[in-house]
Amino acid sequence: MASQAEIARSPSGEVPFAISELFYSRTDPRGVILAGNEIFRRVSGYDWAELLGAPHRLVRHPDTPRGVFRTLWEALGKGNPMAAYVKNRAKSGQYYWVFAVMLPIAGGFLSVRLKPTAPLFTRIREIYDDLIARERDGLDPEASARWLHDVAQAQGFSSYTSFMASALGQELAARDARLERAADARTRVLTEMNEALEETTREQGRLLRSFDALQSIPNNMRIVASRMEPTGGPISAISENYKISSQAISVRLHGFAGARDSLIDRVSRDVAKALFLLGCGRLLGEMNASFLAAAPVPGIDWEVERALLLGLERDCARDGREAMLHAVEHSATLNRASAEVRRHMLGLDTIRVLGRVECGRMRDANGGLAATIDQLDAFHAEIKGRLETIMRLSENVGLAMDRYLRSSAATVV
């Protein structure tokens, strides 16, 4: 039950519940409620006869954007776990906020929900207020879901999935702290890894923009060369070689960093999935333990629910480790690709130096060629710096992956 202190702090119209309490519900593929726990029944305000067999949207609050549910169902439909902040409505008309973690299971879906307390929750409510206003002005659910993806990117994440994986890590850490429990080392490692990957993604975006800007310089060099030497002269040849080499590097960069389903995208998705599964496993274990003392409910077999949760907890440990192994493979390929780009940059440097030598030999009177080479110098310094940062971040991610795999090996059943 919620403590008196929590009830006293609860805003008017909000149903109070304790941070130690977890909601549980299980539905069929259409979202019809097949089982739930006493916390869900009590806070929602419905009797069991009203909940069991009813659609889960019974507790949906209009202040939760439709784009949130579109995003949830899209992920679940692909067989992936997902999480979201959700504002629900009780039978009395009051509301309550939860952070919902959802899993696709055989014969439907399962959700465990906790009380949101991380600092991010304040920002999420502001985002929802904005999005609800847009939906009321005619924004459809699909466009609303895309808007959420844009919000995730604005927050520095490559996808909404990664954003919510980070939110799960933050909420679990905040809950542990409020309950005065020791921080879970594996959750912390995965959260840090997720954040490092997102920083890698942002750095790669900057690198791609630098390379795209670099493509105009060989053209400038040819224009200068046309005024200084006959057609086909050394500067023209250098500019053409530079153009061909830089375009080849750009293609490689876009292949592992710029496209949808790129290497960095795969690593990020796998780490986010591992974080989801780890969090789910922790919550399922806690939920399962609470069923030992559950009062009998007509229509719910607690032994069946416990067996289901135990199996899912094992599956989460196994699948989370598998997702991390996939991430390790993709990360190793990403590191090799980054190192290969760095080697190609050395070849590009050689062409740049030849341009500088030729500039000195021709005694560039008006400084046009020298200024162009200076631009190349600046871009090369920036690009090499970004590559070094990406390599360092990738190495840190790899080390974190090793720590996680070592710490999680004992949990695989």
Domain boundaries, the chain: 4-178, 185-411
315-318 long-range contacts (CB < 8 A, ≥24 apart) are 316/277, 316/278, 316/280, 316/281, 316/284, 317/277, 317/281, 317/408, 317/411, 317/412, 317/413, 318/412, 318/413
| Residue 321 near residue 405, CB atoms below 8 Å | yes
**What long-range pairs does 350-358 form, CB within 8 A, spacing at least 24?**
351/238, 351/241, 351/242, 351/245, 352/242, 352/376, 352/377, 352/380, 354/238, 355/221, 355/235, 355/238, 355/239, 355/242, 358/234, 358/235, 358/238
Mapped onto helix, strand or coil, the DSSP state of residue 55 is: strand
Per-residue pLDDT of the chain (413 residues; tens, 9 = 90+): 554 444 444 556 899 999 999 999 999 999 999 999 999 999 999 999 999 999 999 999 999 999 999 999 999 999 989 999 999 999 999 999 999 999 999 999 999 999 999 999 999 999 999 999 999 999 999 999 999 999 988 877 878 988 998 899 999 999 999 999 988 887 888 787 777 777 777 777 788 888 777 777 777 777 777 777 666 678 778 878 878 888 787 777 776 665 566 777 777 788 888 888 888 899 999 999 999 989 999 999 999 999 999 999 999 988 988 888 888 887 777 778 778 878 888 888 887 788 778 777 766 544 677 787 888 888 888 888 888 887 777 777 777 777 777 776 654 44
The C-alpha atoms of residue 385 and residue 397 are separated, in whole angstroms, by 18
Dihedral (Cα; 16, 22, 28, 34), 10-degree rounding: -80
Q: How many distinct helices (H) and strands (E) make up the chain?
A: 13, 5
What count of residues does the chain have? 413
Residue 277: both structure tokens together: 């599964």
d(CA 221, CA 291): 73
162-166, Cβ contacts within 8 angstroms, sequence gap of 24 or more: 162/194, 162/197, 162/198, 162/268, 162/269, 162/271, 162/272, 164/82, 164/83, 164/84, 164/272, 165/83, 165/194, 165/271, 165/272, 165/273, 165/275, 165/276, 166/191, 166/194, 166/195, 166/198, 166/275
Write down the CATH superfamily of domain 4-178.
PAS domain (3.30.450.20)
